[in-house]
Structure 1
Amino acid sequence: MGTSSSSSSSSSSSIWVLVILSLLHILQPTQGRNPPLLSPSSDHYGTPQPLLPIPSPASPSSSMASPPLVMQMVVVYEHHHMDKELAMAIALSSVAAALVILSFVLACIFWQRNRKDPDPKSGQGSARGVTLGPIMSKFNSLKMTGTKKGSLAMVEYLMLESATSNFSQNNILGEGRSRSVYKACFDGGVLAAVKKLEGCGQDGIREFESEIDLLGKVQHPNVISLLGYCVHEDTRFLVYELMQNGSLETQLHGHSRGAALTWHIRMKIALDIARGLEFLHENCNPPVIHRDLKSSNILLDSEFNAKISDFGLAVTSSNQSKCNVKLYDSLGYVAPEYLLNGKLTEKSDVYAFGVVLLELLIGRKPVEKLSPSECHTIVTWAMPQLTDRSKLPNIVDPVIRNTMDLKHLYQVAAVAVLCVQPEPSYRPLITDVLHSLIPLIPIELGGTLRVSDPSPRGVQRSNPY
């Protein structure tokens, strides 16, 4: 109310000054104008006293002449003039008092209004957080430490110990370089995955902070949801939503060798990945480059919906030049231009997507050893055969061989070939890839294809050639 109060006080002061000056002007001695012509015998109010008898002109005892009639008329006029000025002064004083009261009322109104409507820039409004769905609501209802970073909960270490049975070996979902992932069951039956990062070093700490910062802001059906984090001594923990079918790498190259992944499910997984990348490239501001896209970082839920995970190496287009983190386990997925000169763009993610698409199509690992001293990548091995329609069906994963429309197979192979082109400018945008895959996937799985058997295991064997 500071501005309103000061303006009201200033207005009131000005009015009082005006009133006082007016009264002084009325009551002060009449300097600078003709003095009133009063009778010598009149009182200080200008009221004439009774006139004495007028002596005869010849009387020598007369020491003072009687006032003439004109002077008596002036006295009466001055009396009425003074009454008029007094009435005007009273009227002005009344108006001034009314203005002062009105100013005070207005000042009170402004003060009350300012108390009810604080300045929106004061930061006292409610903050909006990211909604992570029902699992996030359940997770937030659990007992936390009370500290949050953005929309992420800082989880107590003792809670993590209890939920993972003291990080039991029986709860391990996966292991990697200086990290392990455990299945966790919190109070209320809430399931989650806990990634334990040990001996991180400076690079590991940067990855940890980067993942918290990025996933605390991002929400998309094909991007993993980060529910919370914990720092305990030198060990750091990340808590994710649980993906029941594990990673794509485990499904393709584990004990089952891709047995649960039909042609349509594989194409649905590819479509989900493309949608997640499109969101990162086109809808995030600034655009996000994942930089470590690979089958082990693609997680599958109970219905084989795919989500991109592990954003520790992700960068935005605005700060990519500042990053110099080594890609330890991703050589088969790294774009040539990044290996040669460190050039990184969204097309680098498109190259990695092409490698994952070849994994889904062929069922081979991205890098395979031919001998202890020699190895080859899936790109160099498959490229000559991908463009030969007579050879292509023979290199398809035996699990899905002869279970798809050959026309669709050729189209998917053509998309993969474009994505893994050595020259970045020859690769398509991930949006173009997305639109190329949608017509090949049944409506029930998120595409636009209408098939006679709508189930994911439906087979089309027609060969137009």
Structure 2
Amino acid sequence: MTRAKSFLAEVIFTILLCHFSQTVIAEVTAPSEVDALGAIKSRLIDPKGNLNNWNSGDPCTSNWTGVLCYNTTSSDGYLHIQELQLLRMNLSGNLAPELGRLSKLKILDFMWNKITGSIPKEIGSITTLKLLLLNGNQLNGSLPDELGNLPNLDRIQIDQNHISGQLPKSFANLNKTKHFHMNNNSISGQIPPELSRLPSLVHFLLDNNNLSGHIPAEFSKLPKLLILQLDNNNFSGTQIPDSFGSMSTLLKLSLRNCSLQGPIPDLSRVPRLGYLDLSSNQLTGTIPSNKLSDNITTIDLSNNLLSGPIPSNFSGLPNLQRLSLDHNQLNGSVPSTIWRNMIFSANKSLILDFQNNNLTNISNTLNPPANVSIWLYGNPVCSNASLLNISQFCNPETNNQTAGSSSNVTPSCQPCPTDEDYEYNPLSPLSCFCSLPLHVGYRLKSPGFSDFNPYVQDFEEYLSSGLELLLYQLYIDTFSWEEGPRLGMNLKLFPSNGSRFNSSEVLRIRGMFTGWLIGDSDLYGPYELINFTLGSYASVIPSRPKSGLGAGAVVGIVLGAVAVAITLSVIITMVIMKRFSTYSVATRKRSVSRIPIKIEGVKSFTFQEMSQATDNFSNAAQVGQGGYGKVYKGILADGTVVAIKRAQEGSLQGSKEFFTEIELLSRLHHRNLVSLLGYCDEEDEQMLVYEFMPNLTLRDHLSSKSKNGPLSFSLRLRIALGSSRGILYLHTEADPPIFHRDIKASNILLDAKFIAKVADFGLSRLAPLPEGEGTVPGYVSTVVKGTPGYLDPEYFLTHKLTDKSDVYSLGVVFLELLTGMQPISHGKNIVREIMVAYQSGMVFSVIDNRMGSYPSECIEKFVALALRCCQDETERRPAMSEVVRELESIWRMTPESDSVPSESMVTDSVKKSTPTSTSMETNTYISTTDVSGSDLLSGAMPTITPR
């Protein structure tokens, strides 16, 4: 054994010595690429000296500005350049042909400079290139045919230049290219029909060019095309191909001002179409009468020669934001039912622009909701405006595109430090918390909507998730519509816990933007990075060359490497021998850990049963999705309808939440907690099976997703009371007590009778156990987890989870019930907004008017309770027993109070269950017998009786 160890040590020593020697000698950039960078710099004009450090040291080891290299040497023994990132550096001059010698380059980024001249054909020889980003310069000349030889190209962005000539037919060879962004140039001629062979094409943006000829009908064969945007070209005398009516993947068709003629094709068979702009052409005939996709947000057919009546198919489009039919020759009646079946939230609106047509009468009385704007100026019907009571609709209107902004000024806070650019994060769970943000200029190049306001919250969730940040770290400072229409915005990204990002996080976030690693969105379309301002973070990006190594230093490093190699060889030998002796034991442990679990009293389902219940987990069966995975509606073999939560593949967090939720729910029984029916743990799958909640989540109803109409005040109060009782049970009745840790509106489910049930115990923690002397700590020390907007500020700051943390989260839910607002929306925190309104005596101005009439005194007490729950300091919040007591007191003040028994309900609510009972047997509840969903929606309350 001793000889074996000695031999092994010698082998390891030799390998390490060779490795260290090679590392010291070979970790330099390939000489051909160093020479290429020198040639590239010589062709550029750099007035701000951004590339001054390109004159000394090695490009890869001395951190040349904008030069990013592979981490390891290649087989030729050299380092190679992976990215050339020169975004917005005020560079001018020309692009050097030597760019083609960067043979392993993946990203070539010269965006937003002032570079002139043509695109070198030599770029077409960089077979590894994935992103060619040259937009926002002053490039001219034609597109080289050689660019069609890039087998790995994912994105070509040359928009906003002066490129001329025709689109090369060789581009049909770009089999991996998804994004063609070539808008705002002078590209001319016919679009090559050969491009219809592109198997990966997703976005084809060539608006604002000089294209002519016809639009290839063959584009209908593109298997993945989502956006076709060709506005402001000159396809004079041609028609929109009828074949476009069969484009099964298309989301957006924009052909504005293209000199198109003929009829509008029937697009009712385009199942996902969300945005249609055919305005400012010479289209004739009538508007097709078949209904478009329910996804449609924008229909612009203005400034054409369309005739006939406005068809009825525009009614019942749930997501419609704008219908522009102005400046045509339409006749007949003004429709009065287009907004039928639409649910309007505070941020949602609808514009119907019928100006300058030949509309002569009204199909019915025009009485649109407040969120609907109708423009009739220039129609004969306006000559009788007073008689028809439509004067308010007959005034001329202009562009309604809006800008938005948010203020992060917190008047009650002291100023942040001024030595660096510190600011308050207005969305932080901590009040008056100063931190150092990153500033990002960001633009949606082809959004699928005309009004951003209803989508702000969803966009914040999409982008923060894409950047792997928490929701409150992203703040939209301003947004505005720009020519295109495109949506530009200024973003602020704040650190999560500390006052500033560390250097690796800054580099990671920048890489997410510059590498286009944020997932595409059907609704928001492609984005572009306008700027990434480091500000006070500039020091974390090395920009000065490191000192070169002399011969003596190299010798010293080699000798040091030898010493290190000897030491490591001994250590590694010992580790290898130890690992070998324990390998079989570890292997046995790993095999045991995957044995399916068995829990007494909880049914174990097979994977086959789950698959059959959900039609093989079809998309039609999916009813939700969260961080854990997807949720499906299933029907078991016995006909029981269930909700199946399926952990996403390979999710370690999902595995932990899986066991936590089974462990807790298997012994929790209360009518205001969702019931666990079983689980599946086989074939590398983990699923939880619950009772199905047909009325979805409370958040769904507050965000107007429900088709049952808005919730009445009494029903909202009942939901608050039921949720509170469920949480009170967790805190006082469960054995041992439980802190939920993730109470939010989307975790409060509503059954068929609208009974509230608290769900999702994946983040829950057991309350602390007694210590040595019998005392019980008031908190659990834990890593902060939860949902931004609902997080207890003191828990966020101290990592001490208490029962009052749940009280804070529940208080936020109460504020949602009262106002319909999101916890965090467009730079506004619901707690702060309601607190300001309450203190200024304007609280009724923020109450959700969709719930109809309500007792004002009840509202005042409910708001006061909610704000007490949301106090920053733990000790100022009420206990859950007090919350339940006050809600019951408020209930007694409602018109339905006759149904409340005279005895104290809160006494029953906090009694401990008997030892033989596993449920809250003595707790009161609202009986659902003989109560229908429609009764509840109308405000009728059931009788409250002791259980």
Task: Name the aligned partner's letter for residue 332 of structure 1.
Answer: G
Deviations 1:203-228 (A, max 9, x none): 22111101000000110000110011
Match of 1:439 in 2: 889
Q: Is the partner of 2:800 in helix, strand or coil?
A: coil
Choose from 381, 384, 387 the match for 2:836.
384
More strand by proportion, 1 or 2? Answer: 2
Kindly indicate whether residue 836 of structure 2 is the aligned counterpart of residue 394 of structure 1: no
Task: Name the aligned partner's letter for residue 847 of structure 2.
Answer: V
Match of 1:37 in 2: none
Q: How does 1:228-377 map to 2 (within 5 A)?
A: 228-256=678-706, 259-318=709-768, 321=780, 323-324=782-783, 326-327=785-786, 330-369=787-826, 375-377=827-829
Q: How does 1:133-152 map to 2 (within 5 A)?
A: 148-152=598-602
Q: Is the partner of 1:227 in helix, strand or coil?
A: strand
- 8 Å CA contact 2:710, 2:850 repeated in 1: no
Q: 1:344 to 1:446 in 2, by over 3 A?
A: farther
Q: RMSD of aligned C-alpha atoms?
A: 2.7
Q: Is the partner of 2:749 in helix, strand or coil?
A: strand
- 8 Å CA contact 1:155, 1:228 repeated in 2: yes
- 8 Å CA contact 1:252, 1:258 repeated in 2: no
Task: Name the aligned partner's letter for residue 380 of structure 1.
Answer: R
Q: Distance in 2 between matches of 1:248 and 1:289?
A: 21
Q: 1:293 to 1:147 in 2, by over 3 A?
A: closer
Q: 1:446 to 1:304 in 2, by over 3 A?
A: farther
Task: Name the aligned partner's letter for residue 395 of structure 1.
Answer: V
Task: Name the aligned partner's letter for residue 448 of structure 1.
Answer: V
Q: 1:178 to 1:439 in 2, by over 3 A?
A: closer
Q: Distance in 2 between matches of 1:190 and 1:178?
A: 24
Task: Name the aligned partner's letter for residue 804 of structure 2.
Answer: K
More helix by proportion, 1 or 2? Answer: 1
Structure 1 residue 189, shift from structure 2 partner: 1.4
Structure 1 residue 338, shift from structure 2 partner: 1.1
Match of 1:418 in 2: 868
- 8 Å CA contact 1:215, 1:225 repeated in 2: yes
Moved more, 168-177 or 435-444: 435-444
Kindly indicate whether residue 621 of structure 2 is the aligned counterpart of residue 162 of structure 1: no
Q: Distance in 2 between matches of 1:160 and 1:412?
A: 43
Q: Distance in 2 between matches of 1:210 and 1:270?
A: 26
Structure 1 residue 236, shift from structure 2 partner: 1.0
Q: How does 1:37-52 map to 2 (within 5 A)?
A: none
Structure 1 residue 318, shift from structure 2 partner: 2.1
Q: 1:302 to 1:444 in 2, by over 3 A?
A: farther
Q: Is the partner of 2:616 in helix, strand or coil?
A: coil
Deviations 1:133-191 (A, max 9, x none): xxxxxxxxxxxxx9841211110110111111111111111112351111111122111
- 8 Å CA contact 1:178, 1:200 repeated in 2: no
Normalised TM-score (structure 1): 0.61
Q: How does 1:5-84 map to 2 (within 5 A)?
A: none
How many residue pairs match? The answer is 303
- 8 Å CA contact 1:440, 1:449 repeated in 2: no
Q: Is the partner of 2:849 in helix, strand or coil?
A: coil
Match of 1:217 in 2: 667
Q: Distance in 1 between matches of 2:667 and 2:803?
A: 20
State the identity %.
36
Q: Distance in 1 between matches of 2:704 and 2:817?
A: 14
Task: Name the aligned partner's letter for residue 204 of structure 1.
Answer: G
Q: Is the partner of 2:670 in helix, strand or coil?
A: coil
Structure 1: 5+ residue stretches without partners: 1-145, 370-374, 460-465
Q: 1:177 to 1:235 in 2, by over 3 A?
A: same
Structure 1 residue 398, shift from structure 2 partner: 1.8
- 8 Å CA contact 1:351, 1:419 repeated in 2: yes
Q: 1:311 to 1:332 in 2, by over 3 A?
A: same
Match of 2:900 in 1: 448
Match of 2:180 in 1: none
Q: Distance in 2 between matches of 1:282 and 1:322?
A: 20
Match of 2:646 in 1: 196
The higher radius of gyration belongs to 1
Q: Is the partner of 2:635 in helix, strand or coil?
A: strand
Q: Is the partner of 1:421 in helix, strand or coil?
A: coil
Q: Distance in 2 between matches of 1:308 and 1:218?
A: 12
Q: Distance in 2 between matches of 1:446 and 1:321?
A: 42
Normalised TM-score (structure 2): 0.31
Q: Is the partner of 1:266 in helix, strand or coil?
A: helix
Structure 1 residue 280, shift from structure 2 partner: 0.5
Match of 1:61 in 2: none
